[in-house]
Amino acid sequence: MEYADGGDLRRYLQKKISTLTWDDKLKLAYQIAEGIKYMHGEDILHRDLHSKNIVIHQGEAKIIDLGIAKSIEDETNLHLGVFGMIAYIDPKVLADPSYNYKHDKRSDIYSLGVLMWELSSGHPPFISETNDSVLTVRLVNGHREKPIPNTPKEYLKLYKLCWHGEPDSRPSINKVFVELGKILGIQDVSNNSNNDDVQDSNSEQSNDNQSSVNNNTDDIMEHKDSNLDKLSIR
């Protein structure tokens, strides 16, 4: 992958959190969601999203480490093990001791919700909990990190939906992308914004007076090749 001048997201937040504005944090969340949206649009699951698998280059967040990413068609119920870091893993996966729970797009959404919380706090979730077994039980029982004071209300509401214990209650990545755009004021807000089928940034309903999305966003669905820099495969 290309050199990432900001390092991974975890280290970046440790160094920069005191100087990052909410607008900065929201833009990072938006960029991460954009990368996941591209993957899910291709029916690819990441399955190991956490802050050390996101890098920052020239101020932009990019998803890396697709070593265990799989197409949905290839996903099986075979014993795959628990990949990644416990706090970012879908509790439905953690709750199945036989590892038969089928990881799907909603599991990536759970991980995104945790990442969104981490962006608000500047540090990894449950940083003081060193016992993975104890943390697993807590997560399966619905325990989540506490909101950070002064978190924008709509952002808080969105990441709580993403890490909801019931996968069916989690929004699609298209919905998350649209909602983050609304919070930032860079995405068209249509009357159908509560519908998971809302089209993304290339919607014909966009108004001329809407602010432009960053250079990699406007043509994401029509020009897939230009979005490959959102996903750097090692």
Domain span including residue 129: 7-73+80-184
Residue 43 corresponds to which tokens in the numbers above?
């029916």
Instruction: Flag whether 45 is in a domain.
Output: yes
Residue 133 corresponds to which tokens in the numbers above?
């077994």
The CATH number linked to 95 is 1.10.510.10
pLDDT of residue 70: 59
Catalytic residue status for 5: no
Instruction: Flag whether 86 is in a domain.
Output: yes
Number of domains composing the chain: 1
129 or 68: which carries more pLDDT confidence? 129
Give the pLDDT mean for 124-150: 95
Question: What is the average pLDDT value for the chain, to the nearest integer?
Answer: 80
216: pLDDT strictly greater than 90: no
**Do the strands 44-45 and 70-71 form a parallel or antiparallel pair, or are they unpaired?**
antiparallel
pLDDT of residue 234: 40
Instruction: Flag whether 92 is in a domain.
Output: yes
13: pLDDT strictly greater than 90: yes
Instruction: Flag whether 189 is in a domain.
Output: no
Confidence tier at 68 by pLDDT (50, 70, 90)? low
Query: Looking up tokens 């519908």, which residue turns up?
Result: 195
The active-site residue out of 48, 90, 108, 200 is: 48
Confidence tier at 65 by pLDDT (50, 70, 90)? confident
Q: Are 64 and 53 in contact (CB under 8 A)?
A: yes
Start-to-end CA span in the chain (Å) = 6
Instruction: Flag whether 215 is in a domain.
Output: no
Instruction: Flag whether 225 is in a domain.
Output: no
200 or 3: which carries more pLDDT confidence? 3
pLDDT of residue 66: 66
**For residues 199, 202, 205 and 206, what is the CA-based torsion angle, rounded to 10 degrees?**
130
pLDDT of residue 217: 40
pLDDT of residue 145: 98
Comparing CA positions, the residue from 65, 96, 91, 64 lying closest to residue 80 is 96
Residue 141 corresponds to which tokens in the numbers above?
């029982």
d(CA 189, CA 154): 14
Element (H, E) at 180: helix 173-184
Instruction: Flag whether 219 is in a domain.
Output: no
196: pLDDT strictly greater than 80: no
pLDDT of residue 226: 44
pLDDT of residue 116: 99
Instruction: Flag whether 200 is in a domain.
Output: no
